Amino acid sequence: MQSSDETPRVGDEIFRRLVESVRDYAIFTLSPDGRIASWNRGAELIKQYRADEAVGRHFSLFYEPAAITAGWPEEELRRALRDGRFEDEGWRLRKDGSRFWANVVISALLDGSGRLLGHLKVTRDLTERRTQEARLKESEEQLRLIVDGVKDHAMFLADPAGRVMSWNPATQRLLGYEAGEVIGRDAAILHPPDERDAGRPQAEMSAAAHAGFFHGEGWKVKADGSRLWADTTMTAVHDAEGLPRGFVHIVRDPDRAAPHRGARSRGAAHPRVHRDALARASQPAGGDPQRGEPATTGYGLRSDREASARAGFDAHLVKPVDHEEILRLIA
């Protein structure tokens, strides 16, 4: 049986071996003046120095000349002593002179009376993560330039709840809102009040979320309160794991693209416009005329409910519908 005096020594040995076996983190101790006092396997793998090459040397050998000239290694130790802990990210040097992006945490080690015994330094190599972040940033910037360069299509991104996240210049020109006026607000502000009350924005998002996209024509409300008859496409966006990230909206003025259509685009029926989505024939042929049947429309506007009542339906359901599909099913 181990004596009580031996227990702390066994614990210290287990901890030492644990630290030495860690390969993903460079873990080593420094003397109060910054000289390396211990060295683990992770430090050797990340920094390329063997223990006999590193122990006894000042830890500034991992810093670039400009950082050494500026006194940054000593400043890190001063801040760690002052605050108990210091964390930083920046370039560090390997033995072969190559650079790696490091996350560094330095903790001051004090005895019971508060006297500085040294420092514990933990370093992670985050070069790969930083490279991926830089590539993602570059990709996002390229996409932004492409979207901003589109002149004839208004394009913006909304989050899964429908709040506007981006706003390209073409959208500003078409709808009149500046980016600062609309980003963070619900995209439903672009719909007329009666359509908002009837739940059309939510119905369109639901249709896009389930089918992957939604396409239709309808009124959009501009910043000055005027209305624009617009062709709208909404596409659901998902991340690499399939989780919803939001919706890409593309809004186009059909009259601008095809001026000869003129009044048709503003007044004629469109397959997906709510007034044409009323399933007037949803009552089965030969059915009991006394048995009430529900009418289904795309958005449940007041005009839809009135039309349902005139057609003799005793209930009115709201659901995004495809006009052609309804006709096929009830034919």
* CATH number of the domain to which 214 belongs: 3.30.450.20
Q: What is the pLDDT of residue 5?
A: 55
Query: Has residue 139 been placed in a domain?
Result: no
- Does residue 265 sit in helix, strand or coil? helix
Q: What is the pLDDT of residue 10?
A: 42
- Does residue 226 sit in helix, strand or coil? coil
Q: Which residue range is the domain that position 151 belongs to?
A: 144-267
* Domain finish residue from 78, 96, 125: 125
CA 181 to chain centre: 21
Q: What is the pLDDT of residue 262?
A: 47
* Domain finish residue from 221, 251, 267: 267
Q: What is the pLDDT of residue 71?
A: 96
Query: Has residue 301 been placed in a domain?
Result: yes
Residues 81 and 103 occupy one common structural domain: yes
Q: Which residues contact 15 (CB under 8 A, 6 or more apart)?
A: none
Residues 157 and 252 occupy one common structural domain: yes
Residues 205 and 302 occupy one common structural domain: no
- Does residue 22 sit in helix, strand or coil? coil
Q: What gap in Å lies between CA 77 and CA 119, rounded to an integer?
A: 8
Query: Has residue 111 been placed in a domain?
Result: yes
Query: Has residue 137 been placed in a domain?
Result: no
Its pTM surpasses 0.85: no
Q: Which parts of the chain have pLDDT scores under 70?
A: 1-22, 143-152, 256-331
Query: Has residue 136 been placed in a domain?
Result: no
Q: What is the pLDDT of residue 326?
A: 47
Query: Has residue 134 been placed in a domain?
Result: no
- Please state the domain count of the chain: 3
Token pair recorded at residue 255: 């009259």
CA 289 to chain centre: 53
Residues 217 and 158 occupy one common structural domain: yes
What phi-psi label fits residue 118: left (phi over 0), alpha (psi between -120 and 50 degrees) or beta? left
- 148 burial via Cβ count (<10 Å: 0-12, 13-18, 19+): middle
Residues 156 and 253 occupy one common structural domain: yes
243 to 207, 237, 240: CA distances (angstroms): 16, 9, 7
Token pair recorded at residue 142: 């390229």
Query: Has residue 253 been placed in a domain?
Result: yes
Q: Indicate if the alpha-carbon torsion angle 60, 66, 69, 72 is positive or negative.
A: negative
- Does residue 192 sit in helix, strand or coil? coil
Q: What is the pLDDT of residue 20?
A: 62
Which residue is associated with the tokens 């420094």?
Answer: 30
Pairing of strands 315-318, 294-297: parallel
Residues 40 and 117 occupy one common structural domain: yes
Residues 148 and 257 occupy one common structural domain: yes
* Domain finish residue from 251, 267, 283: 267
Query: Has residue 130 been placed in a domain?
Result: no
Residues 189 and 218 occupy one common structural domain: yes
Residues 176 and 91 occupy one common structural domain: no
- 303 burial via Cβ count (<10 Å: 0-12, 13-18, 19+): middle
